[in-house]
Amino acid sequence: MADPKGFMTTPRQDWPRRPVEERVRDWDEVYVPGALLPIIGRQAGRCMDCGIPFCHDACPLGNLVPEWNDLVSRDDWRAASDRLHATDNFPEFTGRLCPAPCEAGCVLAINQPAVTIKNVECAVADRAWEEGFIRPHPPDRLSGRRVAVVGSGPAGLAAAQQLTRAGHTVVVYERDDRIGGLMRYGIPGFKMEKHHLERRIEQMRAEGTKFRTSTAVGRDLGADELRARHDAVVIATGATARRELPVPGRELAGIHQAMEYLPLANRVCEGDLEISPLSAAGKHVVIVGGGDTGADCLGTAVREGAASVTQLDIHAQPRAGRDEEAEPWPTCPTRIYRLSAAHEEARDLRTAPVADADARLFAASTLRFTGDADGRVRSLHLVEVDARRRPVPGTGRTLPADLVLLALGFSGPDREDGLIDQLGLELEPRGTIARDARFATNVPGVFAAGDAARGQSLIVWAIAEGRAVAAAVDRHLTGRSRLPAPIGPYDRPMTV
Ligand SMILES: Cc1cc2nc3c(=O)[nH]c(=O)nc-3n(C[C@H](O)[C@H](O)[C@H](O)COP(=O)(O)OP(=O)(O)OC[C@H]3O[C@@H](n4cnc5c(N)ncnc54)[C@H](O)[C@@H]3O)c2cc1C
Ligand code: SF4
């Protein structure tokens, strides 16, 4: 603990964001470049070294937060990087994208703003890349065993890196044309620029991991052949089966799933398209769904030049602070008002004249869509609902809508490629892939990890799943494993 009084003398300071008017004109990350390093040493010095660090427990990866806070405040970046990479394969991803349940569990957060743990993590990772501390770690010797990882999201990448380093020959199969899963074509560049992904993929290639893109297992490569070619298989195909909105008018043109819209915008940034065929430019946009995916649609529509953007959330407006009864410290509150960068932009630019504070209308339920003579959507009709989702009489209203984006979440892995059926994988009642306490499915030698088995989750859980499944596969292949397993398949975030 470099500064025993740091938490009393230094106020919390977050990585500043660029001015709204500037950042909505590009797709770069929202943060001020270079503004984190000058402040982060003192911020890390706010860590109290409290003795029982709940932040460490609240992080699914078990990140050793107090240790690297101390090392950063002492300016020992190399050691901080080593401690961080001991538990997290991709801290520059989590440092940008994680909702930081660790900060909700920070002991300082009992009566003061938490330590900026996520910012410290990002600074350590970025500095480590700049200084050249991050290098490939190829294995000393090969085991002669071959492993297939299906899916290249954070779960598949973490599993592949761990297994490659353990000496196995790993091939990652990805149906998209580029590696990265939802980090590639779901999450927009203003949350994480893609060069962070490229750098890690290069590190993994140099370590020996092989990548096969544009290969949908089940369609382009049969499941039997996949099993015949490999000694073990990890299914990390994500949970991308989309939820629908079965209301009158859903069939009208101009109503799309968020994951039809976001990949096209990402492809414009990748240089594959000049303009997105679903661009929001000049359109009145309504996003149905109040979660992170909806917020990503909001930030994207604003950057594309929408005429207006409104986001509908069926839940009541959450309270500003934690509900101490229902979600006490150190749990991570789920119903709390959060102003993401996209909401800040929508608020400042007044993208939704009908909404109060930011672009969101809370307790709003969509009743139907109506369109024009050409079959294109023109309006969305909604009603306010109570806590039991019953319509409140007299609250019906109509919003102009030329582009409607459905961001209603995902029900489980999608089965279109046939992989699940070809393998004969058993599913849980909610549609995710069933597995035992060792991440093994009902098919010998086939394991499952990430959203495909856990259900829709977070990057940090996906990386933890990847690390844990790698330990299970390594043990299956060699009879023992020294790889760490930060979580079990049934672990869930802490609740009361
Ligand atoms: C728009 C959006 C924004 C999000 N933002 C955040 C955020 O800010 N922070 C956060 O923590 N989480 C966020 N999430 C959630 C997070 O992205 C996921 O929890 C995480 O990516 C899951 O990782 P995964 O590896 O299990 O699956 P995925 O990332 O979904 O990757 C699965 C991969 O498998 C591939 N695949 C599927 N079937 C096959 C097949 N048959 N053959 C070959 N390949 C196949 C897919 O193409 C995909 O590339 C967001 C999700 C969405 C949709
Ligand atoms: S990965 Fe997420 S929960 Fe873990 S230390 Fe980093 S920000 Fe916190």
The whole-angstrom distance between residue 368's C-alpha and the CA centroid of its chain comes to 30
Chunked mean pLDDT (size 10), the chain, 496 residues: 87 98 98 97 95 94 97 97 98 98 96 97 98 98 98 98 98 98 98 98 98 98 97 97 97 98 98 98 97 97 97 94 93 92 95 81 97 98 96 96 97 94 97 97 98 97 98 98 98 89
**DSSP secondary structure letters along 370-427:** EE-TTSBEEEEEEEEB-TT-PBPTT--EEEE-SEEEE---EEE---TTSHHHHHT--B
Cα(442)–Cα(263) distance, integer angstroms: 33
Give the DSSP letter of residue 360.
E
In angstroms, the CA 494 to CA 496 distance is 7
The token duo for 12 is 């919390």
In three-state secondary structure terms, 287 is: strand
What pLDDT, on a 0 to 100 scale, did the predictor assign at position 356?
Answer: 64
- The 10 Å Cβ neighbour count of residue 38 is 8
* 3-state SS, residue 154: helix
How many residues make up the chain in this entry?
A: 496
> Closest ligand 1 atom to the C-alpha of 154?
25
Structure tokens at 270: 């990748």
Q: Is 101 in the pocket of ligand 2 (CB under 6 A)?
A: yes
Among 159, 147, 151, residue whose Cα is nearest residue 89 = 159
Burial class (CB in 10 A: 0-12, 13-18, 19+), 197: buried
Give the model's pLDDT for residue 496.
84
Ligand 1 centre to CA of 173 (Å) is: 14
Q: pTM score > 0.75 for this model? A: yes
Ligand 1 atom nearest 98 alpha carbon: 11
What is the predicted pLDDT for the residue at 494? 86
Q: What is the pLDDT of residue 282?
A: 98
Q: Cα(first)–Cα(last) distance of the chain, in Å? A: 31
Would the CB of 240 count as within 6 Å of ligand 2? no
